[in-house]
Chain A
Amino acid sequence: MSDERNILASRVVPADEAARESRHEVLRELLGAYADRELPPETMAQIEAHLVGCAECRSGLEVHDAVRSRLAAERPAAPSPALRARIAAAIDAVPAPVLVSAPAPRTVGHRTVVWLAVAGWVAAIALAIALVVQTPASPRRVAGTRAIAAPVQQVALLGGIVDDYARVSHGDLPGRARDLSAVRAAVSFPIEPLRGPDLRLLGAWTTDVRGEPAAVLAYRLRDHLVVQYLVAEDAFFRHPAVRAAVADRHLLTAADGARALVAWPGTSTGTVLVGDVPSEWLQTIWSAERPN
């Protein structure tokens, strides 16, 4: 009987433990919003209940409160009379603005919209974690390529990357392959080198592309240089032409003269691959990245 109980316990406890842990992971990410009273009431209540039994979250909450309180005590700057006069003169020197007609009144309460957005986000996190815990990764749906509908230089991210590639490809590579771990530590998004039978990592370094931090990985591909730029997803998805091109899991393709570009989004990043090689070569690399 005792053995049976032990067997039962060994079956139940790990599952309970896993559920508690996944719940802790979800709620821990919401502590900042909890400290700021920016969550719907029911989520606030859930976190309050969790805090009673979780010392780690109580400690995390204290850090949020301490930072917030100290920053709230920061004083504004004191603009000099000279600056005020300069601003007034600069405004006087330009034409008066053109008035537009008044907007239509709002039909839904602002607070309601905000909480709906927050609630949706909270639910999305919980669902995402539940899926990770409970189910294996679903196969990625495969689609084709789609050329971007704007000139490369008109898309800040791509224009900046093409310019940076031109600089890099005409000089010594700024970093070595063994610098990869330092590059990983320097950026806020995950970095995995590309795979491929003909692809060899030559160097890794960080840069910024039109003000956005980027990780750069250089590869040798059939004795040609191919460079991968990784940027955070918000930078990647900023331009509508990029969003339109990669929608429905398509591969973005573009060209700047003889220079080929392909781009695709990752989990929390975006990759842009550039090279003075046929676009098909770059597309092959992308194909090798996709799960079967």
Chain B
Amino acid sequence: MVSASSDLSLDLRSRFEALVVPHLDRLLAFAIRRSDSVADAEDAVQEAFVRAWLGFGDLRDDALARPWIYRILRTVLSDFREKSGRRQQLVFITRLEDAHDELIGGEHDALFSEVVARLDSEAIHRALRKIPEDFAAAVELHDIDGFKYAEIAEIVGVPIGTVMSRIARGRKLLAGAITAERGAAAFEHATDALAERRAHRGGAR
């Protein structure tokens, strides 16, 4: 016979399984992008799930489960970083901003979409690691994980205006990082490919 108390525990566990566990794949990806290894990311995600379970009674609104578990994971990752003494490599932001400004004012801006669309995940992750974590997190939470600005404000614990400026600046820095890494060669390759496709379309008519 099952007691009322264990019924309650089972209900709670089912609710946890339904609300939190489905986000494991995206949470793991988020952790991998900011860890030295997949094993470190898995440890962080496991710790986040344990903390989430222990504090599950505090979750007042089921609709907020997803931002809530992300907030917990960010805290865990920050704690792990502090414990390991690993320092984020500071980047030359002005250099990235200059690269972005040159892109906007230069002849390659029309090709940027073409180049960025072809990048593989490894190149994207490398570029994300070059920009400050606060900016990268805001951009990733919106563009990869699909959160709205208000949810990101809850996760990160900053006003919505700060989220807005971090996303705007983060994307510019990311574009600068991609442009700086790919260099002129990638854009020239894209120019050739574009010209080839146009010529092919012209020939077909």
Contact = CB atoms under 8 A, between A and B. Distances in A.
Interface residues of A, number: 64
B44 to A, nearest CB: 11
Contacts of B93: 185-188
Contact of B57 (A63, A65, A99): A99
Interface residues of B, number: 74
A12 interface: no
B199 interface: no
A90 B46 contact: yes
A84 B134 CA distance: 29
Contacts of A70: 116-117, 119, 124
Given A100-B58, A208-B87, A118 B143 contact: no
Contacts of B150: 110, 113-114, 117
Interface stretch (B65-73, B162-170, B186-194): B162-170
Interface in A94-137: 94-100, 102-103, 110, 113-114, 117-118, 120-121, 124-125
Interface centre among B103, B149, B168 (most CB of A within 10 A): B168
A98 B9 CA distance: 10
Contacts of A86: 42, 46
Interface centre among B41, B159, B171, B175 (most CB of A within 10 A): B171
Contacts, number: 186
A175 interface: no
Nearest to B113: A66
B148 A97 contact: no
A74 B144 contact: yes
Given A114-B149, A185-B92, A67 B116 contact: yes
Contacts of A1: none
Contacts of A56: 104-105
A234 to B, nearest CB: 6
A72 to B, nearest CB: 6
A62 B119 CA distance: 17
B95 interface: yes
Interface string B34-50: 00000001100110011
B53 A63 contact: no
B168 to A, nearest CB: 3
B55 interface: yes
Given A63-B103, A97-B56, A234-B134, A185 B49 contact: no
A87 B46 contact: yes
A60 B104 contact: yes
A96 B41 CA distance: 25
Interface string A186-206: 111000000000000000001
B45 to A, nearest CB: 7
Contacts of A62: 109-110, 112-113
Contacts of B16: 91
A79 B159 contact: no
B159 A117 contact: yes
A63 B54 CA distance: 42
B88 A77 contact: no
A65 B113 CA distance: 8
Interface string B107-129: 00110110011010100100000
22 contacts: A33-B167, A56-B104, A59-B104, A63-B112, A63-B171, A70-B124, A71-B143, A72-B146, A76-B29, A77-B29, A83-B42, A90-B49, A96-B12, A97-B58, A100-B58, A118-B161, A120-B161, A187-B93, A188-B93, A188-B132, A207-B87, A208-B87
Interface of B: 8-9, 12-13, 16, 24-26, 28-29, 32, 41-42, 45-46, 49-50, 53-58, 60-61, 78, 81-82, 87-88, 90-95, 100, 103-105, 109-110, 112-113, 116-117, 119, 121, 124, 132, 134-135, 139-140, 142-144, 146, 148-150, 158-162, 164-165, 167-168, 171-172, 174-175
